[in-house]
Structure 1
Amino acid sequence: MTNALATPDPATAADRIRKVLGDGPVLALTGAGISTDSGIPDYRGPGSPPRTPMTYQQFVGDPAFRRHYWARNHVGWRHVHRTRPNDGHRALARLEAAGVVSAVITQNVDTLHEAAGSRSVIDLHGRYDRVVCLGCAAVVPRDRLAERLTALNPGFTGGVDDVEIAPDADAALSATEDFRVADCADCGGMLKPDIVYFGENVPPARVRRGYRLVEEAAALLVVGSSLTVLSGRRFVKAAADRHLPIVIVNRGATRGDALADLTVDAGCSEVLTALADSYTR
């Protein structure tokens, strides 16, 4: 039976979590909830507005959808680019440096784990800061594409001054009809953010690496994910199949709660900081 802690004192939560996880190695699986303290909204946390992300089929099948997406992304990616790691990201990096956390599988595309100092990271759903050509597979930095899009769309704001940002570097804009899209500079092919869209599969090699990390771990720590999407939940199921201790720290219920030994309904930054202090003092 899952034990549950609701809005506990961070030190109390850390003590309970450590007793379940043991000495490691602990594999961490993170979602959007760990990045909210960096100013990046989540998809499904308490109070989050309804969001309907663009699907892969819409992006590749309709030039209007593609134009609309690139216009929104041209505004939204700059907000993510300015964000910085928070205490939760830094705590996981500390735990890795201490030999407790073996790796991080993140469902986020914001690259903040890497910026915080985590060395072993699987960007399960890709990265916002890269663009891939669907024709020749060339990969280019997002800031290089930004220069081209700015030259094609000087002064573009999307018709709004106060922009609502989404977790995948998207932004809500009122006007995108006149936006001009850039194609691959090498082959003229279709450019797409190096992000796994809804309706698109995570690259198999990435999934296999995640399963290997589960096999090598002694416990699993889930942080800031509702586990609604199968791409992340599969690793919780794999850990449960191996009878590994599982702890979930998240605001609100998740689809993996029934598999967890302990659920903690609390903020990620505070609990992870207390947990890192517990292991490293």
Structure 2
Amino acid sequence: MKLRISLRSVSKALSTAASDATARIPLTTASKELASFLRDGASNITVLTGAGVSTDSAIPDYRGENGTYTLNPDYKPVFFQAFVALDEARHRYWARSFLGFPPIMTTEPNPTHYALAALQSPLSSLPAGPMQDTMDNQQPPRSGFIRNFITQNVDGLHQKAGAKNVTELHGTLHRVKCMSCGHEEDRSDFQQVLADLNPEWDDLLQSQSASRLYSRMNADGDVELKSPEQQQQQHQQISSKDKVLDYRTFQYPTCSCCGSGHYKPSVVFFGENIPVATKESTTQAILESNGLLVIGTSLATFSAFRLVKLAKDTGVPIAIVNLGQSRGDALANLRYDENSSLLLKAVAQELGLGDIPGVIKRKKRVMNVVGS
């Protein structure tokens, strides 16, 4: 199964959603309804998440108000076929990723991630709260409300917050894999290899204040770099002495195991097949669930939308929490146009789970970087 999405058709797809899908209801009402939805799931809810759950960690999404495609409609990701075939595409990707991975690595989960992890945890393992205090210590621990997570995100923040049974639909940024022999390495270790091969780029990354050229960090762990010509023009305007860097000079290694293969991040690129095992496991999770909770995604990619459609076709109740319209609004039993951190914290209180940790960071993260 390929990751299929027509970038030009996204707006059209979303505009066909039910016009009343984004009508807001009071937070207290929404939290009570969603808490009932979770209770009715009898500890067997599957959660499907997208980039919107990480925006409160200051990682931008794709199609929200400050999303990559919203602010830059001409943005073009690296496609799988180009990455495999073209040396220049690999230079471009690894230069962008080298500058964009450190913020992903240090980003912390937000209240949405922590609330979902708490909703999954057995109640006996939760911090003391109204529900926990009244439990009979002689009774066995009660299961949490969530059984499985399916996430389109590659940032690893669900796991960092303590979530279990997480299937990463589009892979992870935290590993790289040789396309020839399959050898895998930790992305943090690979970052150091890239730094050793590219000392000028590493000096820039470490200094941060070395340049006034700001690039945007995207949800897939890279940054939007300016061309050498754009850099030169800005340097002339501000009399900058910073060195102009061209991504075509960025070096990347061959595989340390087979010696000839090229590494690829363990993420599913546009145009790449989703692993069969991933497709099968996510399908099974939906079929065995008592409810599907969708959070922070427009469902523009078919790989995610098909799961919502499968739930609808098999009678699994669906609740959607997303700021703005989504492709699945017309299929949902419950629909909330609400910030997920605010709503899920309220749901946690409604269910007696106590205070939820985490900080909302709304400021866009920028990096002082140059490249092309």
* TM-score with structure 1 setting the length: 0.94
CA distance in structure 1 between the partners assigned to 2:58 and 2:221 by the alignment: 12
Matched residue SS, 1:38: coil
How far apart are 1:163 and its partner, in Å? 2.6
In structure 1, C-alpha distance between the alignment counterparts of 2:321 and 2:116, rounded to whole Å: 13
Pairing partner for 1:191 from 263, 271, 274:
263
1:262 is aligned, of 314, 325, 334, to 334
* Larger Rg computed on CA atoms: 2
Matches within 5 A, 1:22-171: 22-24=39-41, 25-48=44-67, 49=71, 50=73, 51-98=75-122, 99-156=144-201, 157=204, 161-171=213-223
Deviations 1:115-138 (A, max 9, x none): 001011001111111000001101
Letter in 1 for 2:114: R
Q: Which range is displaced more, 172-181 or 61-70?
A: 172-181
Distance 1:36 1:61, change over 3 A: same
Q: Amino acid of the residue matched to residue 138 of structure 1?
A: H
| 1:53-89 C-alpha deviation (Å, 9 max, x unpaired) | 1110111111111100000000001111110000000
Is the aligned partner of 1:203 residue 2:275? yes
Q: Name the structure where strand makes up a greater proportion of residues.
A: 1
Kept in 2, the 8 Å contact 1:219–1:244? The answer is yes
2:296 corresponds to 1:224: yes
* Cα RMSD after superposing both structures: 1.7
Task: Measure how far apart 1:161 and its partner are.
Answer: 4.6
Amino acid at match of 1:220: L
How far apart are 1:46 and its partner, in Å? Answer: 2.5
Change (3 A) 1:180 1:52: same
Whether contact under 8 Å (2:60, 2:66) holds in the other structure is: no
The correspondence for 1:16, drawn from 33, 36, 55, is 33
The CA deviation at 1:160 is 6.2
Q: Is the 8 A contact 1:220 1:239 kept in 2?
A: yes
Q: Which residue of 2 aligns with 1:180?
A: 251
8 Å contact from structure 1 (residues 28, 103) kept in 2: yes
Amino acid at match of 1:40: I
Greater shift, 132-141 or 265-274, is seen at: 265-274
The answer as to 2:282 corresponding to 1:213 is no
Q: Percent identity?
A: 40
CA shift, 1:44, in A, is 1.0
Q: Distance in 1 between matches of 2:265 and 2:55?
A: 22
Question: How many residue pairs were aligned?
Answer: 280
The answer to whether the 8 A contact 1:104-1:122 is kept is yes
Letter in 2 for 1:28: V
Normalising by structure 2, we get a TM-score of 0.72
CA contact (8 A) 1:131 1:139 kept: yes
**Structure 2: runs of 5+ lacking an equivalent:** 1-17, 123-143, 206-210, 227-245, 354-372
C-alpha distance in 2 between matches for 1:21 and 1:238: 19
**3-state DSSP of counterpart to 1:210:** helix
